[in-house]
A and B are shown apart, each in its own frame.
Chain A
Amino acid sequence: MSAPVETADVRKQQLEGLGARRKRVEDARFTQGKGNYIDDMKLPGMLFGDFVRSPHGHARVKSIKKDAALALPGVKAVLTAADLKPLKLHWMPTLAGDVQAVLADEKVLFQGQEVAFVVAEDRYTAADAVELIEVEYEALPAIVDPTKSMAPEMSSALRFL
């Protein structure tokens, strides 16, 4: 008389404790769209933010006109480095021990850099306000060769004004 054959699957199903199969508790929620991620949260008075970003790799910011954006109904604020400077919030330390511009301070150093920050009642108004902000740039030569960018005189030229 031989014992019934126990397959690996059967053995696994009988395991308890270490090595046992377990259904994750959170999956019942996640599979029903009830994850509640940060972007899913809605709090009273919550506002939307959007950025004006630099189209240039390297340029001097000559002026930022925000009147038209501020006049748009639903726009709460338009912030630039000039607004952050008195609060000493325009440059922030990084984990690398370096500093980084929160919003472009007189110069933009890469394409897509944040130049102004809009706060509005909804995301569409914020996007409209971004379109209404006029930034005047004076384009400067940009370094596109990574080897050249590592030259000591280049790094100082790029990082500081």
Chain B
Amino acid sequence: MSKMHIKLTVNGRPVDALAEPRMLLIHFLREQLSLTGPHVGCDTSHCGACTVDFNGKSVKSCTMFVAQAQGGEVKTIEGVAAADGSLHPLQEAFREHHGLQCGFCTPGMIVRAYRLLQENPNPTEAEIRIGIAGNLCRCTGYQNIVKAIRAAAERMNTAKEAAA
């Protein structure tokens, strides 16, 4: 199948590549850009392990063609930590609160939580649970994931207040 010219921004860097129009965004990220943080957990759009941020919204990158991302901005788990390598408060909190075991769902969880906290910087436990309903974890039982997101929200809000 003939390839098309794809231009988009991934984790702040411009990407210029050739890809088949039918290629899924997740395969483009993983196989062409070697960004293997987002995972294919189910192949059926249920698990959310492939979640990335696209133009300010959480998307499951296995439900979207790379052609649909043309000209857009994508952020994957690889783009969540600061440029100097220091972890994002969400990454710290997942570690601190044991929000992961095998870590397979974690990239999707954190990228989703990252967007959730932009949409709602101070979510209740119920709002967090609804907010991550599209992301499945088979290890932790969610309890510690919710705690981690709550803790990260608090830390980010405190930092924001201190800066104000």
Contact = CB atoms under 8 A, between A and B. Distances in A.
B125 to A, nearest CB: 20
A37 B39 contact: yes
A28 B106 CA distance: 11
A33 B107 contact: yes
Contacts of A26: 103
Interface residues of B, number: 32
B29 to A, nearest CB: 10
Contacts, number: 65
B77 interface: yes
B78 A28 contact: no
Given A27-B94, A27-B100, A37-B104, A32 B22 contact: no
A36 interface: yes
Contacts of A42: 31, 34
B95 A33 contact: no
A11 interface: no
A86 B103 CA distance: 43
Contacts of A27: 94-95, 100, 103
Nearest to A32: B81
B27 interface: yes
Nearest to A123: B27
A133 to B, nearest CB: 18
A123 B24 CA distance: 11
Interface of A is mostly: loop
Interface of B is mostly: loop
Interface string A121-134: 01110000000000
A31 B101 CA distance: 11
B96 interface: yes
Contact of A33 (B22, B40, B78): B78
A29 B54 CA distance: 23
Contacts of A124: 1, 20, 22-23
Interface string B81-103: 10000010011001110101001
Interface in A6-43: 23-24, 26-37, 39-40, 42
23 contacts: A23-B95, A24-B95, A24-B98, A27-B94, A27-B95, A28-B95, A30-B103, A30-B106, A31-B77, A31-B90, A31-B94, A31-B100, A31-B110, A33-B35, A33-B37, A33-B77, A35-B37, A35-B104, A39-B39, A40-B36, A40-B39, A123-B27, A124-B22
Given A31-B87, A35-B37, 13 more contacts: A24-B95, A27-B94, A27-B95, A27-B100, A27-B103, A30-B100, A31-B106, A32-B80, A32-B91, A33-B35, A33-B37, A35-B103, A42-B31
Closest 10 CB pairs of A and B: A33-B37, A30-B103, A33-B77, A40-B36, A31-B91, A27-B95, A33-B107, A35-B103, A31-B94, A33-B78
Interface of A: 23-24, 26-37, 39-40, 42, 122-124
